Amino acid sequence: MRADAVLPVVVCRALILLMVKVNADNSGRLCYSTYNNGKWLFHSKGGCSGSLTMDEIMKDLRRLADIESAKLIRTCEYSVMNITCPRGLNITIVNALYGRIEKNECPNHGPESHDCRSSNSLETVAKECNGKRHCQLLAGNELFGDPCPVVVKYLDVQYLCN
């Protein structure tokens, strides 16, 4: 993706993130904002409210930019995934999924289920890999549990080297 195309995506995602962040009950009500004494204040007739400092907003924007530049790798169930960063850099896991959400990935001879995911994917991969230069994971039910029995699963990991 070209650099000039990334910024609108990041800004759009940041706005969505801000809306979700200040709308704790996830009702979908639209918020509007005002700036007062160094904080963005969010309001709506439906009761959506909250505040964020510019530092908090910039932190969220940087996190979203990191996600946009993260590497994505996939390995099928029962295969080993190797994540390696260049010398002097360490792994930071951004996202992980063990399960199956795409029909055509990794050969599946079982049921046509393609909407299952392990609830502990991100926590498990982060615990195993964060802060290391190299990490090796076996994509299997032993590590992640079995979110969909008889279905062939895969492990997707999105990570940064920093």
Q: Which residues pair with 72 in a beta bridge?
A: 158
Same domain, 62 and 12: yes
Number of folded domains that form the chain = 2
Are the C-beta atoms of 83 and 135 separated by less than 8 Å?
A: yes
CA distance 9 to 28: 20
- Please write the tens of the pLDDT for every residue from 33-92: 555 555 555 555 555 555 566 666 666 666 666 666 789 999 999 999 999 999 999 999
Same domain, 37 and 89: no
Same domain, 10 and 86: no
Same domain, 94 and 25: no
Same domain, 97 and 145: yes
Of the three residues 68, 92, 119, the one that is the final residue of a domain is: 68
Decide if pLDDT at 137 tops 90: yes
Of the three residues 20, 45, 68, the one that is the final residue of a domain is: 68
Beta strands per DSSP E along 16-127: 32-36, 39-43, 50-53, 71-76, 80-84, 91-100, 116-117
Q: What is the pTM of this model?
A: 0.62
Same domain, 11 and 61: yes
Among 90, 92, 98, 86, residue whose Cα is nearest residue 70: 92
Same domain, 117 and 131: yes
Same domain, 91 and 154: yes
> Which band of pLDDT confidence, cut at 50, 70 and 90, is reported for residue 104?
confident
Same domain, 60 and 78: no
Residue 112 vs residue 100, higher pLDDT: 100
Among 62, 66, 24, 79, residue whose Cα is nearest residue 46: 24
Domain containing 109 — which CATH number?
Answer: 2.60.120.740
Same domain, 81 and 142: yes
Residue 113 vs residue 144, higher pLDDT: 144
Of the three residues 40, 68, 96, the one that is the final residue of a domain is: 68
Same domain, 59 and 86: no
Share of the chain above pLDDT 90, in %: 41
Same domain, 60 and 94: no
Count of CB atoms situated within 10 Å of the CB of 85: 19
Write out the residue range of the structural domain in which residue 16 sits. Answer: 3-68
When pLDDT is averaged across residues 106-122 and rounded to a whole number, the result is 81
CA distances from 157 to 45, 48, 97, 140, 152 (A): 40, 34, 7, 14, 17
